C-alpha cells in the first residue's frame, strides 16, 4: 500500500489488487455524529443524504446511472466518527468514480426543495427505527450511558433538531467538513499506483483546502454507579441490553476485550460494513449456553467496534416468550460476574484467537472490504491499527483478558436497559430511567 498527501491536504491510500479487473474507491470524511452539537444532531447523516442529490456537473437523476452502467455498486454511510462514500466497479469506470467523489467534495448543490423533501425522508427513517424495539432500546441505552460525550446522540439525530434544521445549517456544515484536508481517498483494485495518483491529482488537485474543522473534545466522566432504564410499549417480545463503557481502538484493553467477547458471544470481525452479515459461531459461547440453551432467550449477541474515543461494549438478549426479564438479567449478570472474577480458560483463549483470525480474513475478502478497512481505521486512528490487528490478537494473554474483564465488566460501569412489551391494543407507552 502507498500513502501520500496532495498539496491541498487530501490523504490518498492506494493498494494494488490484481486478482480481478475491479476497483473500489472510497472517500472518507472525519465527520460523524460525535462532531454535532445540540440543535444540530443528525446533520452529518442528513448531509450524507444530500450529497447523493447531484452536483454542479452531475444532474441528480444521473448519479446512480454513472456507476450502474458498468455493473458496479455505490453507497455510503454515516456513523459516530465518520462519513464515507464508495463505488466499486470494473476498472474501466475508475475515472468516473474519481469524478463523482471530486464533485461530491466540492460541488454539491443543497437545493432548498431537496433539503425539504429529505427532511421528510429522514424523519420517517427515525420514526421507523423507533418502531423497532431493539433499535429503540439501543438508542436509549446509549443516551443513558453517556452523560457528556456526543456519542450519546443517535446518528440519525433527535426529532426536534430534524424538524428545525435549515438549508443554511446543512450547507454550512457541508462546506466546513467536506474539504480535502479533512478527507482520505482510498483506492484498492486492479490499478497502477503511479497512474492512479496522476488521475487523483487531475480530479482533486485543484480543490481548495478549508480551515481545519473545530472539534468537540468532551471527555466522558467515569461512571460511578449502575444506571437503568425501562421502556414499556405495545409489543410482543421482551429485550434486554447491558452496555459497558469500553476502550477505544488504540487502548491496550481493546483487543483483550475483543477476545473476551468472542468467548462470551462468538467471534465477530471488525468490519462495520460487512462483519455482521454473517452470524458468529456461538455453540460453545458462554452466554449462548447460559441463556439460549437453558431456554431463557432466543438469541444473544455482543457488540464491540473500534472507535476513536471510548464507546460501549453491549450485550443484547431477546427473551423467550413468557420468560421474565429479571430471570434473563440474573442469568446474564451471573455469567458476566464469573468471567469478571475468574477470567477465561486457556482453551477458550486458543479457540477465540483462531475464530477471530478467520473472521479478519473475511473482513478483507474483496477490494471493497479491503478499501473499507483501510479508510475506516485511518479515520478513527491509523491504518497501523488495522494492519497490526492479527499480531495484536495473537499476542493477547490470559492475564490481559482478565485485566480487561475486571476493568470493563464492573457493575458500576454498566447501564441496563429493559424493553417490556405491553399488550397490543393497550395504547400505553412509558419510559423510565
Q: What is the pLDDT of residue 63?
A: 79
Same domain, residue pair 135 and 255: no
CA separation for the pair 252, 395 (Å, rounded): 12
Q: Which residue's C-alpha cell is 478513527?
A: 380
233 and 132 in contact (C-beta within 8 Å)? no
Same domain, residue pair 181 and 240: no
Same domain, residue pair 112 and 150: yes
Position 405 in a domain = yes
Give the domain-ending residue among 173, 204, 235.
204
Burial of residue 326 (CB within 10 Å: 0-12, 13-18, 19+) is: exposed
| Segment 42-79, tens digit of pLDDT | 999 999 999 999 999 999 888 788 899 988 999 999 99
Cell of 279: 452470524
Position 210 in a domain = no
Distant-in-sequence, close-in-space partners of 94: CB < 8 Å, separation ≥ 6: 23, 25, 189, 191, 196, 199
Q: What is the pLDDT of residue 65?
A: 86
Averaged pLDDT of the chain: 96
| Segment 150-196, tens digit of pLDDT | 999 999 999 999 999 999 999 999 999 999 999 999 999 999 999 99
Give the domain-ending residue among 189, 204, 219.
204
Q: Does the pLDDT value for residue 205 go beyond 90?
A: yes
* Bridge-based pairing state of the strands 11-16 and 2-5: antiparallel
CA separation for the pair 145, 151 (Å, rounded): 10
Domain count within the chain: 2
| Segment 106-153, tens digit of pLDDT | 999 999 999 999 999 999 999 999 999 999 999 999 999 999 999 999
Considering the entire predicted model, what is its pTM?
0.96
Same domain, residue pair 128 and 256: no
Three-state DSSP state, 98: helix
Q: Does the pLDDT value for residue 352 go beyond 60?
A: yes
Same domain, residue pair 297 and 391: yes
CA separation for the pair 92, 233 (Å, rounded): 52
Q: Does the pLDDT value for residue 415 go beyond 90?
A: yes
CA separation for the pair 155, 84 (Å, rounded): 14
Three-state DSSP state, 197: helix
Q: What is the CATH number of the domain that holds 58?
A: 3.30.830.10
Same domain, residue pair 39 and 142: yes
User: Shortest CA distance to 182 belongs to which of 214, 151, 205, 217?
Assistant: 214
238 and 417 in contact (C-beta within 8 Å)? no
Show the domain range for 48: 2-204
Mean pLDDT of 345-353: 98
Give the domain-ending residue among 141, 173, 204.
204
Model confidence at 266, pLDDT cuts 50, 70, 90, reads very high
CA separation for the pair 359, 114 (Å, rounded): 41
Same domain, residue pair 250 and 384: yes
Position 266 in a domain = yes
Amino acid at each position: 500500500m502507498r500513502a501520500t498527501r496532495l498539496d491541498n491536504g487530501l490523504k490518498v491510500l492506494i493498494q494494488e489488487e490484481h486478482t480481478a479487473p475491479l476497483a473500489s474507491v472510497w472517500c472518507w470524511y472525519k465527520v460523524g455524529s460525535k462532531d454535532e452539537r445540540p440543535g444540530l444532531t443528525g446533520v452529518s447523516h442528513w448531509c450524507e443524504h444530500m450529497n447523493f442529490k447531484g452536483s454542479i456537473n452531475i444532474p441528480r437523476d444521473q448519479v446512480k446511472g454513472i456507476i450502474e452502467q458498468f455493473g458496479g455498486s455505490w453507497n455510503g454511510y454515516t456513523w459516530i466518527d465518520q462519513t464515507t462514500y464508495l463505488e466499486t466497479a470494473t476498472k474501466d469506470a475508475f475515472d468516473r468514480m474519481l469524478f463523482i467523489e471530486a464533485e461530491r467534495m466540492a460541488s454539491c448543490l443543497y437545493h432548498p426543495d431537496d433539503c425539504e423533501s429529505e427532511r421528510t425522508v429522514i424523519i420517517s427513517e427515525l420514526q421507523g427505527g423507533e418502531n423497532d424495539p431493539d433499535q429503540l432500546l439501543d438508542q436509549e441505552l446509549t443516551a443513558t450511558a453517556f452523560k457528556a460525550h456526543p456519542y450519546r446522540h443517535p446518528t440519525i439525530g433527535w426529532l426536534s433538531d430534524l424538524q428545525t434544521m435549515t438549508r443554511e445549517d446543512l450547507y454550512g456544515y457541508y462546506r466546513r467538513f467536506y474539504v480535502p484536508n479533512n478527507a482520505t481517498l482510498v483506492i484498492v483494485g486492479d490499478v497502477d499506483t503511479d497512474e492512479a495518483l496522476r488521475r487523483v491529482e487531475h480530479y482533486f488537485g485543484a480543490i481548495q483546502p478549508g480551515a481545519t474543522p473545530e472539534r468537540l473534545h468532551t471527555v466522558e466522566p467515569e461512571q460511578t454507579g449502575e444506571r437503568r432504564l425501562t421502556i414499556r410499549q405495545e409489543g410482543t417480545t421482551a429485550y434486554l441490553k447491558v452496555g459497558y463503557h469500553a476502550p477505544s481502538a488504540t487502548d491496550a484493553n481493546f483487543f483483550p476485550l475483543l477476545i473476551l467477547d468472542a468467548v462470551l458471544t462468538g467471534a465477530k470481525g471488525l468490519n462495520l460494513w460487512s462483519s455482521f452479515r454473517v452470524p458468529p459461531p456461538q455453540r460453545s459461547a458462554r452466554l449462548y449456553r447460559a441463556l439460549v440453551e437453558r431456554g431463557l432467550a432466543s438469541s444473544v449477541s455482543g457488540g464491540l467496534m473500534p472507535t476513536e474515543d471510548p464507546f460501549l461494549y453491549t450485550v443484547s438478549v431477546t427473551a423467550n416468550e413468557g420468560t421474565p426479564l429479571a430471570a434473563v438479567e440474573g442469568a446474564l449478570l451471573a455469567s458476566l460476574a464469573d468471567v469478571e472474577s475468574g477470567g477465561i480458560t486457556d482453551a477458550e483463549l486458543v479457540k477465540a484467537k483462531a475464530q477471530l483470525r478467520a473472521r479478519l480474513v473475511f473482513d478483507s475478502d474483496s477490494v471493497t472490504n479491503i478499501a473499507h478497512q483501510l479508510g475506516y481505521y485511518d479515520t478513527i486512528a491509523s491504518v497501523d491499527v488495522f494492519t497490526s490487528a492479527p499480531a495484536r490478537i495473537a499476542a493477547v494473554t490470559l492475564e490481559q483478558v482478565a485485566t480487561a474483564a475486571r476493568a470493563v465488566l464492573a457493575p458500576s460501569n454498566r447501564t441496563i436497559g429493559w424493553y417490556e412489551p405491553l399488550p397490543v391494543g393497550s395504547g400505553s407507552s412509558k419510559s423510565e430511567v
